[in-house]
Amino acid sequence: MNNQKQQRVSGILLHPTSLPSPYGIGDLGQAAYDFIDFLKAARQHLWQTLPLTPTGFGDSPYQSFSAFAGQPLLISPKHLVELGFLNESELSDCPTGDEELVDYGAIIPWKTKILNLAFSRFSECASSELFAEYETFIQKHSFWLEDYALYMSCKDMHEGREWLAWEAEYRTPTPETKASLKEFLQKDMNYYYFVQFIFYKEWFALKEYANKNEVKIIGDIPLFVSLDSADVWANQELFQLDSEGYPTVVAGVPPDYFSETGQLWGNPLYNWDRQKSDGYQWWISRVRHQLHLSDYLRIDHFRGLESYWAIPYGEETAINGEWIPGPGADLFTVIEDALGKNLPIIAEDLGIITPEVEALRDQFGFPGMRILQFGFDSEEESTFLPHQFTTPNCVCYTGTHDNNTTKGWYASASEYSRDKVRYYMNTDGYNIHWDFLRTCLGTIATYAIVPLQDVLGIGEEGRMNTPGIGVNNWAWRYKKHALSQGLAEGLARITRIYGR
């Protein structure tokens, strides 16, 4: 991305699950459109989400059953009523719970139930035009959809267990076995086709509305994929697995800002030699697909493409790993050859970053990330402080989904850090979230992104994720009337002052 002549823009980080909804979890219904209206009124031109894929263990969007599929939980129940697949009364038993938190344990079975009910009526209620659209969708997305639907159908057969716990014939099926499985499980696969069709129909309608209102979407992909996924099961040769399918090494990061023992993610690592031998086709498909879903693409843990932390499978922490060279420039050269130059990719360049990682980022013109909170955590000089920004080709954040909210961070920060903030921003800290927001928008960074929690002044209770802790994450939601006209006007005024 050559951003030297890019217009300065700003936006908000908000995952759709955090939208208000009467159905227990944020979805792609009316509240999503209302949020875009708020962005427009507030002069914001970017909406950054977390990965939109189906969540697996711990409800994390960074541990998904597919790198290509959409999250069924984001489908709007109201839309299913509008399509004639459900009656309004059939939504009355929704376990709404706390309007500020998602109760995944309650909402997943309920949403699955209504999606199954809608699917059962699809063949009877769908118009010929909608059914034709459905068949076109299946054909267009067959390169990932068929394996995903088959994987999830097999997973259902095995009571939700990951594929390593299946019988050998299911775990590593031959082409003949796969063909017979597809025939045997066709009805089950059709359900997954239907769910994905509805998700994509809703998402592309929403994206079109956003773009018409001059709002662009920043999508997000984790560098690594989940072991419990259609991607690994259907492409085992592309990963570092043993003959039984178990990883030989897994992903993570060494001890860092977030954890003294590092982060043991457990994702299988890519077999980059094998990926290279077929021209990185899987990666080309992935990036092309994601850039169809969004206008920009943030690659989480970008540094792992220069070199990655390989941890022997079975280790209990991430301490005992080693750095292994990744594909580096070779991968992006091939992707550019396939998709074009100046790709709208954002590099998440946080953590242990070396000159080699920076060189890879800069070679392709990808903007990196600057997190304001990090600039005040140490007595040392920091590249995260605005006066150290050396190029506008970066994205400035007050914090990310992995950080505490700014208000929560300030409340728990050391007295040194709080004092440093007060001097730096010339503030008494009373409205610290607005101080950070104003500082973020005032930097030379071409892009400025603020989590909605920091716009609203939410404390630690609004934190989206705590790295290294596998429970009670990804649940925060904002209340329906939180996005007032006054808030939009205030944000618009600050945005205009800083030339965004």
Active site residues: 300, 348, 402
Q: How far apart are CA 65 and CA 153, in angstroms?
A: 12
Query: 387-424: string of b/e by CB count within 10 Å (b at 16+)?
Result: eebeebbbbbbbbbbbbbbbbbbbeebeeebbebbeeb
DSSP string, 178-226: HHHHHHHTHHHHHHHHHHHHHHHHHHHHHHHHHHHTT-EEEEEEESS--
Among candidates 182, 177, 196, which has minimal Cα distance to 139?
Answer: 196
Inter-CA distances, 273 with 159, 238, 240, 249, 327, Å = 35, 9, 10, 15, 9
Amino acid at 67: A
Q: For residue 70, what are its two tokens?
A: 């959409």
Nearest C-alpha neighbor of 367 from the set 346, 353, 384: 346
Instruction: Tell me how far apart the alpha carbons of residues 246 and 231 are, in angstroms, rounded to a whole number.
Output: 14
Classify the C-alpha dihedral 171-196-452-472 as positive or negative.
negative
Residue with tokens 């994720």: 465
Q: How many CA atoms lie within 13 A of 221 on its CB side?
A: 24
Q: Measure the CA–CA gap between 317 and 262, rounded to whole angstroms.
A: 7
